[in-house]
Amino acid sequence: MISFSGITITKVSEDASKNSALFEIGPLPKGYGHTLANSLRRILLSSLEGAAITSVRINNLDHEFTTIPGVKQNLLDVVLRLKNLKISLNGDESAIMTLSKKGVGPITGADFTLGAGVMIMNKEYHIADLTDASSQLVIEAVVEKGTGYRRADESLRDEIGRIPVDSIFSPVRLVDAKVMPSRKGAKTDLDKVIINITTDGTVTPQESIKQAVSILVEFFQELVVVTGAQALTSSVMKEAVVANKLEGISEEVVAVLKEAGIDSVEAVSEKPKTYFSKELGLKLKQVKELIALLERNNLDFMKDEKKSKKTKS
């Protein structure tokens, strides 16, 4: 049976100024790199919930193909700029953002009065310019939650002055996923996924990949129900994983490991092999049990730093 034990997600690098981070996922059985990479990429770009403006009212003008007295940009330009605001919305209910400004000068996201639970991440974003002292711009924008892309609801035009807006809800802007060869211990025919995620700042790349994995797990759990297989709740799955972590080795070795505070395969892999023989006093046969345990889980001992330094010198 194929083993999926020992898979980790590691953040390799991060650029907080660009809301971007690079992750490495592995080791994976051969062929599963493409399965995971394609699945995560689709979910990240289409299935994560976000917030966006779905309709606006601007100076009570009837349609977007017109000019606004005293405003440098026409109505269509203002609507398109409003779509570039990066908005976060807490709760499931829609909310209202309003703006009312007079006199000469620029208008940015910071000029909005925000409803409960609404945040604008790029408040410095430029929306329009008022050109004379008597000019005024009044905006009312409806913010909603959703996933993926939604076309403008043209039925909203029945309300005088209401202009529907097509909306991109996804908080993830870019996903670049690559499958690379990997190895763990004696196994050299494994995969790993290198995935670079860029968000709009309303969620972090790390939070987005957590949400994507959760969606993927929920999807396959539903398939388990459909096929009539035994479904496991997350708590039961966790207990099962913990119970199996140190299986396949003798009770004497398990007792020594637990006394040293090592209760998982991952904890074993975080120590060099010499630690178990010299520090814990395990015999060669018992150390071989640990070697087999790690190989079954696609893991290996941590490199011995002292030995590495001696080799370099």
208 has a pLDDT exceeding 90: yes
Residues 54 and 24 in one domain: no
* Residue 262: CATH number of its domain: 1.10.150.20
**What was the pLDDT predicted at 44?**
95
Domain that holds residue 60: 50-168
Report yes or no on 179 lying in a domain.
no
Q: What is the mean pLDDT of residues 122-148?
A: 92
pLDDT band at 202 (very low <50, low <70, confident <90, very high): very high
Report yes or no on 110 lying in a domain.
yes
**What was the pLDDT predicted at 308?**
46
**What was the pLDDT predicted at 159?**
82
pLDDT band at 139 (very low <50, low <70, confident <90, very high): very high
Residue at 171: amino acid letter:
P
Residues 81 and 163 in one domain: yes
**Phi (first) and psi of residue 128, to 5 degrees:** -165, 175
Residues 144 and 198 in one domain: no
The pLDDT mean for the chain works out to 85
Residues 137 and 199 in one domain: no
242 has a pLDDT exceeding 50: no
Report yes or no on 76 lying in a domain.
yes
Report yes or no on 3 lying in a domain.
no
Cis peptide before 27 (omega within 30 of 0): yes
**What was the pLDDT predicted at 156?**
84
Report yes or no on 300 lying in a domain.
yes
Report yes or no on 178 lying in a domain.
no
Point out the least confidently predicted range of 36-45, 86-95, 196-205, 221-230: 221-230
What is the C-alpha to C-alpha distance for residues 303 and 118, in angstroms, rounded to an integer? Answer: 49
156: left (phi over 0), alpha (psi -120 to 50) or beta: alpha
Report yes or no on 177 lying in a domain.
no
Give the helix/strand (H/E) hosting 312.
helix 305-312
* Residue 211: CATH number of its domain: 3.30.1360.10
When divided into structural domains, the chain yields a total of 3
pLDDT band at 161 (very low <50, low <70, confident <90, very high): confident
Residues 206 and 158 in one domain: no
Residues 40 and 76 in one domain: no
**What was the pLDDT predicted at 304?**
64
A 10 A CB-CB count for 61 gives 16
Report yes or no on 299 lying in a domain.
yes
Give the helix/strand (H/E) hosting 139.
strand 136-147
More confident residue, 251 or 238: 251
Residues 80 and 109 in one domain: yes
- Global pTM reads 0.67
* Residue 141: CATH number of its domain: 2.170.120.12
pLDDT band at 306 (very low <50, low <70, confident <90, very high): low
Q: Which two tokens stand for residue 86?
A: 């990066």
